[in-house]
Chain A
Amino acid sequence: MSTTATLPQVIPGPAKDPAIARSLGRRRSHANTIVKCLCILATVIGLLLLASILATLLWRGAAGLSASVFTQVTKPPGSNGGLLNPIVGTIIQTVLGTMIGTPIGLLVGTYLAEYGRDSALSNAVRFVSDVLLSAPSILIGLFIYELLVQPFGGFSGFAGCVALAVIVIPIVVRTTEDMLRLIPAGLREAAIGLGAPKWKVIVMICYRAALDGIATGVLLAVARIAGETAPLLFTSLGNLNWSISLARPMASLPVTIYQYAGSAFDDWVQLAWVAALLITLGVLAINIVARVALRRKA
């Protein structure tokens, strides 16, 4: 038996003519070059935007940097005030918000990775957590206003902390679940084989192995809430007087920026730029540290 191989019929087309083929090829490579250039242009525009924001902040913000920014509280325009209470307020609310939100987020992430896995409840929790992660932060502010401000008759630093904690939870949930799922099963099996109960396996083996990743998630959450403005407008409100009481309105850098930047006083606008510079440098520094830590782990 003989097999015959037939070559596919070459369809006679314009490309058979070498001149036309060359011009078609040229057109394709031209299109390629144009798209490549446009993509490089898009990337350059993206980088220029970042550079423009940073340069504006450095230029306008550095002009107002002085020791009094860190030693004086906010004062009426024209009396050489500083930013001490917003700085302290931001630190208090960010730290407390992180401390409230992290344990809850950690437990939810643990539930999703270790207990629920792919059950209906855990899929629902995962979905809801993702919705919370991307939900407009202004709505979280309104929610905490309804929950903690209106019933208790006043804006408070505590309400601000809770609003920020609600933002922290889904960020920690996501990183905790991802990191716990990366841990090799052999590590768990070895501990179970030694007779360790499940909670000990999770707390002493899994958490330890995932520590770097979880810490990165917490750092990213800190960076996110340190610059949040909208939820604080409805909860801790801002306070131009010195106060570190959690039961009273509390100042914060983002809200102070919002109040000062729109004002008609030059020295307030200048302070707003300083506050913007401080918050941006802080947030970017935390982000870079978190990324470097994660990369070393990966």
Chain B
Amino acid sequence: MLLELSDYKDDMRRCIRCSICKWPPLAQVKSLRFSNACPSVAKYNFHPYSGGGKLALGLALLEGKLTEATDEMLNILFRCTACGACDSSCKYNAEIEVLWSIYSIRAHVVGAGYQLDEHAIITDSLRREDNPLSFPKSERGKWAEGLDVKDLSKGGRAEIIYHAGCLSCYDPESAAVARDTVKLLVKAGLDVGIRGAQESCCGSSAFQLGFQGEFIKFAESNIDDWNAAGAKTVVTSCACGFGIMKSVYPLLGKEMKFEVKHISEVLADIIKDGRLELRKNLSAQVTYHDPCNLGRKSEQYVPWKGEAKKLLGQFIVREPEKIIHRGWNGIYDPPRNIINSVPGVILKEMERIREYSFCCGAGSGVKQTMNDFALWTARERIEEAKSTGARTIITACPWCKKNFKDAIAELEEKVEVYDVVELAKQAI
């Protein structure tokens, strides 16, 4: 099993409540207004909502000081998008595995039979219809109707499999972006195929909510399908999926005969080597929102198992050496390269970017079960976007885009949101 709470005991014990998990790395804080890293503690202002706070809860559960999970505790554990900002910030100070501890606490609590009622809808939907959105499996392939692309569910082979992701299959707006994506790939001469109605969820929501058993089933099934299809590359639009495929799928011990890439990587490549030319001058000021799962959470995670020794009673030395995952190796440049390749477009960076980017608010089931919190977080981020002077947000994740658009519609703001693929398409 991937998530065993006892594996993170040392991590949880070493939290000294320095509170760095609540802020971006201090050298990167540029203003007081946008100095929060963690949406949960920024909104609810109560220490347990922060990364370190959840670790304290987890330690209490592990050591038996808390013997049951009350409704309030479940609220604290699940009112969190698992964005990993706490994890990334903590690594500047204490190198504690905050994010994976949070995953393990959730798995521990779920295994003991506690869950939010709303999560039952997500897991039921995954079991019955292979997606967390309660849409029927039979309609999974509808988004690609009429699209001129290889349908691998009918047999055949392709070098590249395009994994649309659940939101792109069922949400009309995201589906339109997915169709454009496929057309761009085909136009650039790539041998791409889709799995149509046989595609199933990446399992990321199951994993992040602690439903390990469900996640393992989806992940193993996808790996088998992609291996059996003989593809060399799997390209996805779903940033959540991408993050989990890169960071967690390799931990299952199954041979992955393919490489996982995000659409922004592929798109940046084909623009760079000229297979796709962006000629139209779009003349706009935009800002780019780094999705958590594309950025800091897509670094491959290697759980550390070894011996930790104390030198001079104080310094911890680990054998073998522990690889610290700070999120520096996520996908940050490809989307920016695409934006910079569009003539006339000026990119204005927000204050919290790259591995210390501020979450959009939709992740880990929050959008589906706590929409109020998701929208609050989105509003915060939109404020930050507006503060750059840009009126257009570019992002690379359908969930981020959807959440921003919902918040904008509510506020009736004059801000536009586009996926980086849409931007590229408009510039052809």
The answer on A and B forming one complex is no
